[in-house]
Amino acid sequence: MRLNRSNLCWLALALITAGYLVFWALLLGATAAYSTVDSWLQVLQSPEIRHATFLSLVTCTLAAGFALLLAVPVGYLMTRLEFRGKSWLDAALDIPIILPPLVVGLCLLIFFQTKIGKVIEMAIPFTYQVSGVVLAQFVVAAAFAIRTMRGTFQHLSARPEDVALTLGCTRFQALWHVALPAARRGMVAAFCIAWARSLGEFGPILVFAGATRMKTEVLPTTVWLELSVGNLEAAVAVSLFMVLLAVLVLVAVRATGEKV
Amino acid sequence: MIQLEQLTWKVSGRTILENVTVAIPANTYAVLMGSTGCGKTTLLEILCGLRQPTSGRVLLDGVDVTDLEPRERGIGYVPQDLALFPGLRVREQIGFAPKLRGMAPDELNQRVNRLAEQFGIAPLLDRLPDMLSGGEKQRVALARALAAQPKLLLLDEPLSALDESMRAEAVSLLQRVQSEHALTVLHVTHSSSEAAALGTLHLRMVAGRLEQESKG
């Protein structure tokens, strides 16, 4: 291949990309090298960390499930209906993405001190509870799930739904019988993205649900707690476990054909 | 019978359809021609109820359906891209409307099989849309529309994706379908030969206005 200007340009861009990937590989490699078999065994035997792992898996699944239940109707509405103020609503739906995580936790904490919040807590207690962990994860994960579902519906033609309307469907039936089956892969992707996002959630959980061992401790909390007592080996082992889970989720999303 | 009275459609201050008035008698095969972007598809969508006109009325057999939902109009619609339901097999596509209306499984199967035979797609009943050719998709879309037993069939350039040899076959199929099902058909096309072969009433859309060319 001749090294003309165009090739030089591609070469430069490829080097930048490779440099970034190498940087990440070095980061993960160094973290992995720091970990030992003993630290993994210690992590596996620790009842607190086992509890945190179990709680993370359960709360992430619940938060991602609730996020998907919200994301499907909101994504469908934002794609198929044109209305005044849509761009403002669109921007508002992205607020949880741009807010600093600690602020999200603080907002939740303050909301549940208001009259409405206290009434809700009489039915379902959230503050410093496991349900609070789910809510804190859900608040942020839902915004990512909505984005994914919106992209999914945008890529699907509305025409089959129009035809379904002429064949006797109500709008809801067209969504249920035509749009949702077609959006299956997008729904799997939205669930996985919301799940991965929930797994990494730390700030809102710390502020709103606390970091009580054997109660509201999830994996990111474990990393923080282990670091705070100087147990770097355990913190690294838990971090690597989270990296593994995140990679599995990424593979699952890619398998659906959706882009993250 | 289709009657359009002073139908107007404006979007963002632009007039797409202007005072469209026409009467298409029952059992007529009407063809609608016109340049790209002149409002033909919009007219079909207003007839179906997928769009609300800015002003004017749509009457089917003398009944004002302007404010009725698409499902209440009894109109079969085959859009240009055919819009087969992704992920549903041919059998499910054709049985979609009857099943929605709660038809008993035996009767549903009979209707699906009868239409599949009529359209020559019986061997394809278990296929997904991705596994069908353009001509097969067109037949499935027609069978799906007719399974709902509409009185009126709207076709938006249904033959545009077919090659010459298949188009001649499709034209005779459409003629047969119209007479066997006693349908009133409004067929949008760019092809003069297609219009000449099928149409008994020829309409032309020019700058948002509808002109009646001749009666065959």
The answer to whether A201 touches A140, Cβ cutoff 8 Å, is yes
B88 min Cα distance to partner chain A (Å):
9
φ/ψ of B122, rounded to 5, equals: -55, -40
Domain identity same for A139 and A192:
yes
Exposed e or buried b per residue across A147-181, where buried means at least 16 C-beta atoms within 10 angstroms of its C-beta: bbbbbbbeebebbbbbbbbbbbbebebbbebbbee
pLDDT at B164: 77
CA of A173: which chain B residue's CA is closest? Answer: B100
Q: Which residue range is the domain that position A113 belongs to?
A: 36-256
Q: Which two tokens stand for residue A203?
A: 């700030």
A94 with A27, same domain?
Answer: no
pLDDT of residue A260: 52
CA distance A251 to chain B (A): 23
Q: Where are the alpha helices (DSSP H) in A46-175?
A: 47-80, 86-93, 95-98, 101-111, 115-123, 130-155, 159-166, 171-174
More confident residue, A7 or B104: B104
- Note whether A96 and A42 are same-domain residues: yes
Contact A168 B148 (CB under 8 A): yes
Angstroms from A187 CA to nearest CA on chain B: 15
Residue window 160-199, chain B: list those with CB within 8 Å of chain A: none
Do A23 and A107 lie in a common domain?
Answer: no
Find, among A223, A229, A225, A214, the residue nearest to A47 by Cα: A214
Tell me, yes or no, whether A132 and A192 share the same domain. yes
pLDDT at A249 over 90: no
CB A215 within 8 A of CB A130: yes
User: What's the gap in Å between the CA of B46 and the closest CA on chain A?
Assistant: 12
Residues of B in contact with A164 (CB under 8 A): 85, 96
Rounded to an integer, the average pLDDT of A241-250 is 88
Mutate which of A166, A176, A184 to test chain B, going by most B C-beta atoms within 10 A?
A: A166
Are A28 and A99 contained in the same domain? Answer: no
pLDDT at A259 over 70: no
Same domain, A158 and A30: no
- CA distance to partner chain B, nearest, from residue A171 (Å): 10
**Is the domain of A25 the same as that of A45?**
no
Shortest distance between the Cα of A73 and any Cα of chain B, in A, equals: 20
Domain count, chain A: 2
CATH of the domain at A135: 1.10.3720.10
Q: Which residues of A touch B (CB under 8 A)?
A: 156-157, 159-160, 162-170, 173, 177-178, 181-182, 184
Q: How far apart, in whole angstroms, are the C-alpha atoms of residue A145 and residue A140?
A: 9
Other residues' Cβ atoms within 10 Å of the Cβ of residue A105: 24
Closest chain B residue to the Cα of A168, Cα to Cα? B71
For residue A167, the chain B residue with the least C-alpha distance is B97
Q: B97 in contact with A at a CB cutoff of 8 Å?
A: yes
What pLDDT does B216 receive?
Answer: 47
Q: Nearest residue on chain B to A181, judged by CA atoms?
A: B87
Q: How high is the mean pLDDT in each 10-residue block of chain B (216 residues)?
A: 92 89 93 89 94 94 93 93 93 96 94 92 95 91 94 90 79 88 92 90 90 66
CB contact under 8 Å between B85 and A157, yes or no, is: no
Q: In what order do the strands lie in the sheet with B63-64?
A: B14-24, B2-11, B55-60, B63-64
3-state class of B88 per DSSP?
coil
Angle at which helices B134-147 and A159-166 pack, to 10 degrees? 30
Mean pLDDT, chain A, whole residue set:
92
Q: Is the pLDDT of residue A172 over 80?
A: yes
Same domain (yes/no): A44, A26: no
Query: Torsion angle of alpha carbons B165, B171, B172, B177, nearest 10°?
Result: 140
Q: Nearest CB to B100: which of A156, A173, A184? A: A173
Give residue A2's pLDDT band: very low, low, confident or very high (50, 70, 90). Answer: low
Question: Which chain B residues are closer than 8 Å to A178 by Cβ?
Answer: 85
Contact state of B100 with A167 under an 8 Å Cβ cutoff: yes
CB-nearest to A168 from B48, B79, B100 is B100
Whether residue A11 is found in the same domain as residue A107? no
Which ranges of A124-183 would DSSP assign to H, the alpha helix? 130-155, 159-166, 171-174, 180-182
Q: What is the pLDDT of residue B207?
A: 83
For A50-88, what is each residue's pLDDT tens digit? 999 999 999 999 999 999 999 999 999 999 999 999 999
Contact B85 A160 (CB under 8 A): yes
Residue A171 shares a structural domain with residue A221? yes
Nearest CA in chain A to B51: A162
pLDDT digits (tens, 9 = 90+) for A176-188: 999 999 999 999 9
For residues A253 and B54, the model is more confident at B54
CB distance from B145 to chain A under 8 Å?
yes
Q: Are residues A29 and A45 in the same domain?
A: no
Domains by residue range for chain B, with CATH: 2-215 (3.40.50.300)
Interface pTM (ipTM) of the complex?
0.91
pLDDT digits (tens, 9 = 90+) for A225-236: 999 999 898 899
